[in-house]
Amino acid sequence: MISGRCAACKYLRRRCPSDCIFSPYFPPNDHQRFACVHRIYGASNVGKMLQQIPSHDLRAKAADTLYFEAKYRIQDPVYGCVGMITQLHQQIHNAESELAKTQAQIAFLNSNDHAQESQVQNIETKLHPDSNILILPEQINAAGGLWSYVPASATSTDQTSWF
Amino acid sequence: MGGNSPCASCKLLRRRCAKDCVFAPYFPPDDPHKFAIVHKVFGASNVSKMLQELPVQQRADAVSSLVYEANARVRDPVYGCVGAISYLQNQVTQLQMQLAVAQAEILCSQMQQGPVMPTQQINEDDHEKSYFLHDNLIPQYINFDSSSSTVIHDSFKRESIFRHDMVS
């Protein structure tokens, strides 16, 4: 079947048998795919690796991943796709640091919120039922202006009872 | 090596180890498994060609990455290194989502507190570090089902690939 040779057998200039291990995964219309894989692994090694995989679907995936790795090895002869793994590790490290920083900010904001709420509660509990003091929201400074509050009807000597 | 003990490659290939053997500096005789696994996946001839095409100062890293890939391929004959890449990419995506949620929470918190609070906005530098705004390094067509790669995932956690031998 000379006219129906797979890319591998075309490349290797041989007859393509009906049970060719390469033909399902290296179609004749994509000669570069086999060329990449052959350049890095060699046809013999690729054939052996594919033979060891029991199912057709898994062999197809294996051929895809071999092509992927071979392509990256040709593009980067020193690190191949391992360079990508290193970069991903770095990305993960950066993301974890960023996340930790952000979560610390959230914790800080939440603790500030709780502090403000407890300050507000302290003001309210110190009010006497018969007090004629009117507390306006703007008189309570969120940045800790509790000490700047001056009751409307209090004299200077009365202020000490608030603290 | 050379006049002394032959390197692991020449021992396995049963040939004389020349003084200028391309393998000798990277495949010492006390670690035969290292060359064996690289030879199994790539073949000695291909490894030799790859090393000869590289400047000498880059060959050690090239050998380390080849050993890493060969080990990955032996452990996972279907996905090899790509299984690890897929796994790590998922981790990055999850972290990106968590970060986005956390940053949204800060914005909400800032909006609730109003303009009185000192701003805790994300710095411009942090935006530059927000890699999720940048193109992903991995081509988007990679969508390998790495369900068969669970065995190797632990070994691809943050470890210094080029500082310890994957073989041992």
Q: Rounded mean pLDDT of A149-161?
A: 42
Q: Rounded mean pLDDT of A78-82?
A: 96
If one counts the domains in chain B, the total is: 2
Helix/strand/coil (H, E, C) string of B56-67?
A: HHHHHHHHHHHH
Gyration radius of chain A over CA positions: 37
pLDDT of A53 reads 96
Is B59 found in the same domain as B40?
yes
- Kindly give the confidence (pLDDT) of every residue in chain B, 168 residues in length, as a single tens digit, with 9 standing for 90 and above: 445 789 999 999 999 999 999 999 999 999 999 999 999 999 999 999 999 999 999 999 999 999 999 999 999 999 999 999 999 999 999 999 999 999 999 998 888 876 655 555 545 444 444 433 344 444 444 445 444 444 344 444 444 556 444 444
CA distance B1 to B109: 66
pLDDT of A22 reads 96
Is B15 found in the same domain as B56?
yes
Is B85 found in the same domain as B68?
no
B106 CB within 8 Å of a chain A CB:
yes
Q: Which of A45, A65, A116 to mutate to test the interface with B (most CBs of B within 10 A)?
A: A65
Question: Do B77 and A85 count as a contact with CB atoms less than 8 A apart?
Answer: no
The token pair that represents B138 in the structure block:
């991995």
pLDDT class for A115, splitting at 50, 70, 90?
A: confident
Which of A40, A77, A109 comes nearest B109 by C-beta? A109
Structural domain that includes position B93: 80-111
Burial class (CB in 10 A: 0-12, 13-18, 19+), B79: buried
Is B89 found in the same domain as B52?
no
Here the ipTM equals 0.71
Q: Does residue B98 belong to any structural domain of this protein?
A: yes
Question: Do B142 and A83 count as a contact with CB atoms less than 8 A apart?
Answer: no
pLDDT class for A96, splitting at 50, 70, 90?
A: very high
CA distance B137 to B134: 9
Domain-terminating residue out of B75, B96, B131: B75
Q: Does residue B156 belong to any structural domain of this protein?
A: no
pLDDT of A129 reads 58
Among residues of chain A, what percentage have pLDDT more than 70?
71
| Least confident window among A75-84, A94-103, B44-53, B130-139 | B130-139
The token pair that represents A73 in the structure block:
């090895």
Domain-terminating residue out of B25, B58, B75: B75
Q: Does residue B139 belong to any structural domain of this protein?
A: no
A70 phi and psi, to 5 degrees? -65, -40
Indicate whether A30 pLDDT > 90.
yes
Count of helices and strands (H, E) across chain B: 7, 0
Q: Does residue B123 belong to any structural domain of this protein?
A: no
pLDDT of A109 reads 85
* Mean confidence (pLDDT) of chain A: 80
CA distance A44 to B43: 9
A99 neighbourhood in chain B, CB within 8 Å: 95, 98-99, 102
Which of B40, B106, B131 comes nearest A109 by C-beta? B106
Q: Does residue B12 belong to any structural domain of this protein?
A: yes
B158 CB within 8 Å of a chain A CB:
yes
CA A101 from chain center: how many Å? 15
